[in-house]
Amino acid sequence: MTTIAFIGLGNMGIGMATNLAKADYDVRAFDLSDDAVSNAVKAGCKAAKDIRSAVSEADVVVTMLPAGKHVRTVYTSEDGVFANAKEGALFIDSSTIDVPTARDVIAKAEANGFSMMDAPVSGGVGGAAAGSLTFMCGGEKSAYDQAKPILDHMGKNVFHAGEAGNGQVAKVCNNMLLGIHMIGTCEAFNLAEKLGLDAQTFYDISSTASGQNWSMTSYCPAPGPVPSAPSNKDYAPGFAAGMMLKDLRLAQEAASTARVSTPLGAQSEALYALMEAAGKDDLDFSGVMKLIKGSL
Ligand code: NAD
């Protein structure tokens, strides 16, 4: 039986680890939070008291951590993954982190004789629980081929995006585009309403015309047209504005490093930073509608 160490059992990690346990992998769960570990045990994983006991017998290590600094610590510290994993282990980092850290940690893994991929996800907490995430993988094709059957238990779409770090590139570029078209969609619905056109009528027209986009048809920020959208629950998340801001900041960091101009990405970051400053970053990211309307 394949043994998998799972480190980082927060909102996303718990659903993912649960799906691996359901698929009959021997899952060793570690998190700094005891509550997170006991949730994983209830879901069929075995508790590990530290990184060493989680990874020492693992064929595969999956991490789902908040940011690049946590990923670097978990893998490279003296009592971390590199120092304790068994020979030939494969590492999969599914956290959303900055591209340079992803590339650097993978290079260090390879220098230590391990295979490693960045494999960030989209699909949110619901997708993690349902096993329907999209994985965007960067790294050697051989690592991807080895990881794919495991990722298939946690996701519906699994892509190999090319070299190390390319998964993170795909993730931040996708989410920058999502932030931009969400804000544009809010502006269009707000202007339509202010000019006397109700949301449903504008939706019926624009969703079949050239303004159509995912933010409109799957997640409409104006209440009414898409019943499942957070706009109908006073913008309860969903995907929090604070998480969108994190991804937009990563995109701006990457754009600055690559000396690429992303003016709409920069504007999107600034608008979501206003939501944070107003203490409203726990709203769904479509709640940027409130900012556009002046009712935040
Ligand atoms: P979270 O804060 O709920 O979970 C992170 C977990 O990591 C926590 O339980 C924390 O205790 C643990 N942790 C932190 N440092 C650790 C360490 N040194 N050792 C062991 N455990 C440690 O975050 P989340 O919402 O699960 O997100 C995880 C990652 O997934 C982030 O990078 C996020 O950007 C990304 N992501 C989140 C969503 C979402 O909708 N929540 C969607 C896509 C991607």
ipTM summary value: 0.99
Dist. CA 94 → ligand 1 center (Å): 9
Any atom of ligand 1 within 6 Å of the Cβ of 200: no
pLDDT greater than 90 at residue 16: yes
Ligand 1 atom with the shortest distance to the CA of 12: 26
pLDDT greater than 90 at residue 124: no
pLDDT greater than 90 at residue 38: yes
Q: Which two tokens stand for residue 206?
A: 């624009």
Residue nearest to atom 39 of ligand 1 (CA): 124
DSSP 92: E
pLDDT greater than 90 at residue 3: yes
pLDDT greater than 90 at residue 117: yes
Any atom of ligand 1 within 6 Å of the Cβ of 64: yes
Residue nearest to atom 12 of ligand 1 (CA): 8
Per residue in 217-275, pLDDT tens? 999 999 999 999 999 999 999 899 999 999 999 999 999 999 999 999 999 999 999 99
Any atom of ligand 1 within 6 Å of the Cβ of 73: yes
Which residues participate in catalysis according to the annotation?
A: 171
Overall average pLDDT of the 120-136 stretch? 94
- Strand 121-122, strand 133-137: pairing: antiparallel
> Each residue of 141-171: b (16+ CB within 10 Å) or e?
eebbebbeebbebbbeebbbbeebbbbbbbb
pLDDT greater than 90 at residue 122: yes
DSSP 128-152: HHHT-EEEEEBS-HHHHHHHHHHHT
Q: How would residue 140 be classed by pLDDT, with cut points 50, 70 and 90? A: very high
Locus of tokens 């048809």: 217
Ligand 1 atom with the shortest distance to the CA of 73: 18
Q: Which two tokens stand for residue 11?
A: 């909102």
Q: How would residue 286 be classed by pLDDT, with cut points 50, 70 and 90? A: very high
Residues 6+ apart with CB under 8 A from 249: 269
Question: Does domain 3-163 bear CATH number 3.40.50.720?
Answer: yes
pLDDT greater than 90 at residue 132: yes
Dist. CA 70 → ligand 1 center (Å): 9
pLDDT greater than 90 at residue 28: yes
> What is the percent of the chain where pLDDT is above 90?
97
CA distance 162 to 164: 7
Q: Which helix (H) or strand (E) holds 26?
A: strand 26-30
What pLDDT is attached to residue 159? 98
Dist. CA 205 → ligand 1 center (Å): 39
Residue nearest to atom 20 of ligand 1 (CA): 31
Distances (CA, A) of 285 to 64, 86, 94: 21, 41, 21
Please give the CATH architecture assigned to the domain spanning 168-293.
Orthogonal Bundle (1.10)
What average pLDDT does the chain have?
Answer: 97
Q: Which of 80, 20, 93 minimizes the C-alpha distance to 54? A: 80
Locus of tokens 């989410």: 175
Q: How would residue 1 be classed by pLDDT, with cut points 50, 70 and 90? A: confident
**C-alpha dihedral over 52, 94, 97, 49, to 10 degrees?**
-20
Handedness of CA 244, 246, 247, 253 (dihedral sign): positive
Tell me if 5 sits within 8 A of 62, measured CB to CB: yes
CA distance 57 to 37: 18
For residue 160, the SS3 value is strand
Q: Which helix (H) or strand (E) holds 118?
A: strand 115-118
- Domain-wise residue ranges, the chain: 3-163, 168-293
Dist. CA 7 → ligand 1 center (Å): 9
**Candidate from 38, 65, 249 with most ligand 1 atoms within 8 A of CB, to mutate:** 65
Per residue in 171-221, pLDDT tens? 999 999 999 999 999 999 999 999 999 999 999 999 999 999 999 999 999
